[in-house]
C-alpha cells in the first residue's frame, strides 16, 4: 500500500507514514535494522478492533507496542520486516485505583510516571513496583514482555486482561467475561482454563486494558545491603540469600550487581553533574566491592528489625552488611553537608545524592537515572537526561537467562559470560541478577557498544549471539529474548512450538499480530 492508501484504509486521524516518523520508530539502541510500513495510533479499544479487522482484510502484519521502550531487546521494532507498528501510547487512561484491594486498572499507554503521580496525588496507601527503566515506560507493556520490577515479576501481578485477538474478537480473561463478576481483578484464573498467560510474550492479540497489582505501604521501610570484596564470594552470597528466602526472612526481591554495573549506574548520574576526574575519584573511594546486594525490607519496625538481625547473622560472614532507611540516608546526608568543608565528605555527599534514586526505586518512585548507565561508560555525549536512548550513539544488547538460585549455577553463568564477553570478544559484562521467583534469578547481562562504529556493532551482535547459544546449550534458557534472538528460543521442529503455532491459528488465523514474536509464525 502507498501512504495515501494507508490513511484511506486506517484513517487519517491514526495513521502516519511520513519518512520522519518511520525513521524515528526504526531508531533503536541495539543497532538493529528492520523495515516498518506505517505507524498507527489507536485511541480506544474500538480503534484497535478497527485496525485489526482492516489488517485482516489487507493481510497486513501489525506490531503492537505500548510505549516502545523495549531497550536492549528491540525497542519499537517488530521481529520481521514489513509490519505496521501499532503504538498504544495514546490509550493512557487509568480506569480505577482500588484502595481496598490494591490494584489499578490501566490501558497500555499508562506509564510508570503517570501511575506513580496518580497514586501520590491521591495519597494512596499503595505504590507501584517500578522497574529500573525510565518513568515513561509502560506498566502493561513491561508486564506483557514479562519484565521484572523492583518487587518482582510484573506478569504475575496482572489480571483481568481485555484483549483484541488477531481475528478482531474482543475477549476478557479471568472472570471478566461474566458481566456481573465482582472478582475480575481479585482472582486472576476465573473458572475453567486460564488464558492470561497466553498473552504475555506472545503474538495472539493486542491487550487493551488490565489490572496491575500494587504494593501496600508499610509502617517501616528499609533496604538491606551486602557488599562482597571478591567475585569468588558470589556463590556463598547467593546461597546465603537462598537460605534466607527459604526461611521467609527475605522476600524474593533481591538484586545483585557486579562492580561494573554499579559503577556505570552511579557514574552515569555523577557524570551529568561533575568533571570526569572528580567522578572517578568518588567512584574509586566509594565503590570497592566486587558485587553488591540489595533487598527491600518492610513491615512494622519490629518485623524489619528482626529480618535485618537474622539476615545480618547469615550474611556478615560473607560481606559487609548495611541497612539503609529514610532516616539513615537523611542523617548521613546531613552530616556530609555539615562537614562539607572536608573534601572527602563533600565527595561522599555527592555519592549519597547519586545512590538515592536506587533507594527510592524500592519505594515505588521511578526515575530515568539508570538510563545514563548505558551512555556514560561509552563516553557518549549524545545522551542527556530526557533524550531518547534510541536516538543516541550508545548501543546496548541484553542477554537474559534465568538461573537457579544456587551459588554454583550463578558462578557457572558468570564464568561463561566472562569467557564469551571478555576473553573472546573484548566486551565488559555489566550484570545484575534479580529475583525471578523464589527459586530463580534473571541475569541481566548487558553489552554496551558504540552504535556509530559498524565494526563494533557487528562484534557486539556476534558476541551476544554466541553467549545466547552457549547459555541455552548449557541449560540456562532465556526468560526473555531480543528480537534478533527469537531463532534461539523458537524451534519449528519442537512439539512445544508446533502447539504454539497451532494456537496462533486459533487466535489469529491470518497471522496478523507480530509475526515471529515468540513463535515461528
Ligand X SMILES: Cc1cc2nc3c(=O)[nH]c(=O)nc-3n(C[C@H](O)[C@H](O)[C@H](O)COP(=O)(O)OP(=O)(O)OC[C@H]3O[C@@H](n4cnc5c(N)ncnc54)[C@H](O)[C@@H]3O)c2cc1C
Least distance from ligand X to the Cβ atom of residue 212, Å: 12
Judged by beta carbon, residue 307 or residue 445, the one nearer ligand X is 445
Residues between 80 and 99 with contacts to ligand X, criterion CB under 6 A: 88
* Contacts of residue 342, Cβ cutoff 8 Å, sequence gap at least 6: none
Least distance from ligand X to the Cβ atom of residue 402, Å: 13
Question: Rounded to an integer, what is the distance from CA 239 to the centroid of its chain?
Answer: 25
Using DSSP's 3-state secondary structure scheme, residue 18 falls into coil
Q: Are 40 and 21 in contact (CB under 8 A)?
A: no
Choose the binding region for ligand X from 128-136, 240-248, 326-334, 404-412 (rule: CB under 6 A): 128-136
Q: How many residues does the chain have?
A: 521
Calculate Rg over the CA atoms of the chain: 23
Least distance from ligand X to the Cβ atom of residue 88, Å: 5
DSSP label at residue 425: I
Residue 86 CA to residue 201 CA, distance in Å, equals 16
Least distance from ligand X to the Cβ atom of residue 108, Å: 4
Question: Rounded to an integer, what is the distance from CA 450 to the centroid of its chain?
Answer: 22
Least distance from ligand X to the Cβ atom of residue 8, Å: 25
Choose the binding region for ligand X from 138-146, 178-186, 287-295, 491-499 (rule: CB under 6 A): 138-146
| Interaction between residue 147 and ligand X (CB under 6 A) | yes
Which pairs count as long-range contacts for 466-474, CB under 8 Å and 24+ apart, including other chains? 466/420, 466/424, 466/425, 467/399, 467/416, 467/417, 467/420, 467/421, 468/399, 470/416, 470/420, 471/399, 471/401, 471/413, 471/416, 472/401, 474/412, 474/416
Number of other CB atoms surrounding residue 252 within 10 Å: 21
**The one among 129, 131, 349, 485 contacting ligand X by CB under 6 A:** 131
Question: Rounded to an integer, what is the distance from CA 191 to the centroid of its chain?
Answer: 31
**Shortest CA distance to 508 belongs to which of 17, 62, 15?**
62
Judged by beta carbon, residue 223 or residue 315, the one nearer ligand X is 223
Q: Are 124 and 97 in contact (CB under 8 A)?
A: yes
Judged by beta carbon, residue 389 or residue 414, the one nearer ligand X is 389
Residue 275 CA to residue 270 CA, distance in Å, equals 9
**The one among 40, 65, 195, 279 contacting ligand X by CB under 6 A:** 65
| Interaction between residue 429 and ligand X (CB under 6 A) | no
C-alpha separations of 498 from 125, 197, 213, 472, 490 in Å = 46, 17, 33, 20, 10
Residue 253 CA to residue 307 CA, distance in Å, equals 14
Least distance from ligand X to the Cβ atom of residue 327, Å: 26
Judged by beta carbon, residue 376 or residue 476, the one nearer ligand X is 376
**The one among 50, 132, 364, 516 contacting ligand X by CB under 6 A:** 132
| Interaction between residue 373 and ligand X (CB under 6 A) | yes
Could you give the string, one character per residue 150-189, with x where binding to ligand X holds by CB under 6 A and - elsewhere? ----------------------------------------
Choose the binding region for ligand X from 279-287, 326-334, 366-374, 462-470 (rule: CB under 6 A): 366-374
Judged by beta carbon, residue 221 or residue 517, the one nearer ligand X is 517
DSSP label at residue 249: S
| Interaction between residue 64 and ligand X (CB under 6 A) | yes
Residues between 189 and 208 with contacts to ligand X, criterion CB under 6 A: 206-207
Least distance from ligand X to the Cβ atom of residue 457, Å: 17
| Interaction between residue 264 and ligand X (CB under 6 A) | no
Q: Are 254 and 322 in contact (CB under 8 A)?
A: no
Could you give the string, one character per residue 281-320, with x where binding to ligand X holds by CB under 6 A and - elsewhere? ----------------------------------------
| Interaction between residue 367 and ligand X (CB under 6 A) | no
Choose the binding region for ligand X from 63-71, 186-194, 286-294, 413-421 (rule: CB under 6 A): 63-71
Q: Are 225 and 203 in contact (CB under 8 A)?
A: no
Which residues of the chain form contacts with ligand X (CB under 6 A)? 64-72, 88, 108, 131-133, 137-138, 140-142, 144-145, 147-148, 206-207, 370-371, 373-374, 396, 514, 517
Amino acid at each position: 500500500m502507498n501512504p495515501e492508501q494507508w490513511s484511506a484504509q486506517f484513517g487519517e486521524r491514526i495513521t502516519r507514514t511520513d519518512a520522519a516518523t518511520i525513521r524515528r520508530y526504526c531508531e533503536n539502541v541495539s543497532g538493529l535494522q528492520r523495515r516498518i510500513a506505517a505507524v498507527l495510533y489507536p485511541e480506544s479499544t474500538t480503534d484497535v478492533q478497527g485496525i485489526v479487522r482492516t489488517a485482516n482484510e489487507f493481510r497486513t502484519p501489525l506490531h503492537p507496542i505500548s510505549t516502545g521502550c523495549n531497550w536492549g531487546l528491540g525497542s519499537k521494532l517488530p521481529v520481521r520486516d514489513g509490519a505496521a507498528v501499532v503504538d498504544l501510547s495514546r490509550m493512557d487512561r487509568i480506569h480505577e485505583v482500588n484502595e481496598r484491594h490494591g490494584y489499578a486498572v490501566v490501558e497500555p499507554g499508562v506509564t510508570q510516571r503517570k501511575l506513580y503521580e496518580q497514586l501520590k496525588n491521591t495519597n494512596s496507601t499503595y505504590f507501584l513496583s517500578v522497574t529500573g527503566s525510565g518513568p515513561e515506560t509502560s506498566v502493561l507493556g513491561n508486564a506483557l514482555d514479562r519484565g521484572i520490577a523492583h518487587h518482582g515479576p510484573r506478569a504475575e501481578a496482572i489480571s483481568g486482561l481485555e484483549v483484541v485477538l488477531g481475528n478482531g474478537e474482543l475477549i476478557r480473561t479471568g472472570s471478566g467475561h461474566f458481566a456481573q463478576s465482582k472478582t475480575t481483578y481479585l482472582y486472576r484464573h476465573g473458572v475453567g482454563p486460564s488464558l492470561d498467560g497466553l498473552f504475555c510474550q506472545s503474538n495472539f492479540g493486542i491487550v487493551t486494558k488490565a489490572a496491575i497489582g500494587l504494593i501496600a505501604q508499610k509502617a517501616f521501610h528499609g533496604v538491606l545491603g551486602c557488599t562482597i570484596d571478591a567475585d569468588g564470594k558470589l556463590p556463598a552470597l547467593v546461597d546465603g540469600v537462598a537460605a534466607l528466602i527459604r526461611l521467609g526472612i527475605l522476600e524474593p526481591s533481591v538484586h545483585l550487581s557486579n562492580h561494573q554495573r554499579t559503577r556505570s549506574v552511579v557514574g552515569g548520574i555523577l557524570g551529568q553533574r561533575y568533571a570526569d576526574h572528580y567522578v572517578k575519584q568518588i567512584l574509586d573511594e566509594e565503590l570497592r566491592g566486587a558485587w553488591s546486594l540489595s533487598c527491600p525490607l518492610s513491615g512494622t519496625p519490629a518485623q524489619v528489625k528482626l529480618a535485618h538481625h537474622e539476615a545480618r547473622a547469615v550474611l556478615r560472614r560473607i560481606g559487609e552488611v548495611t541497612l539503609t532507611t529514610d532516616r539513615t540516608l537523611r542523617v548521613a546526608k546531613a552530616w556530609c553537608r555539615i562537614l562539607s568543608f572536608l573534601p572527602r565528605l563533600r565527595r561522599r555527599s555527592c555519592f549519597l545524592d547519586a545512590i538515592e534514586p536506587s533507594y527510592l526505586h524500592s519505594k515505588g518512585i521511578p526515575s530515568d537515572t539508570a538510563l545514563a548507565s548505558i551512555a556514560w561508560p561509552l563516553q557518549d555525549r549524545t545522551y542527556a537526561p530526557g533524550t531518547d536512548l534510541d536516538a543516541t550513539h550508545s548501543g546496548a544488547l541484553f542477554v537474559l537467562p534465568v538461573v537457579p538460585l544456587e551459588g554454583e549455577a550463578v558462578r557457572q553463568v558468570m564464568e561463561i559470560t566472562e569467557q564469551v564477553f571478555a576473553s573472546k570478544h573484548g566486551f565488559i559484562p555489566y550484570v545484575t541478577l534479580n529475583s525471578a521467583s523464589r527459586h530463580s534469578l534473571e541475569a541481566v547481562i548487558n553489552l554496551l557498544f558504540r552504535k556509530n562504529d559498524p565494526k563494533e556493532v557487528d562484534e557486539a551482535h556476534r558476541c551476544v549471539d554466541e553467549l545466547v547459544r552457549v547459555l541455552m546449550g548449557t541449560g540456562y534458557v532465556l526468560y526473555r529474548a531480543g528480537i534478533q534472538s527469537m531463532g534461539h528460543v523458537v524451534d519449528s521442529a519442537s512439539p512445544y512450538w508446533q502447539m504454539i503455532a497451532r494456537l496462533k491459528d486459533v487466535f489469529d488465523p491470518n497471522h496478523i499480530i507480530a509475526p515471529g514474536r515468540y513463535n515461528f509464525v
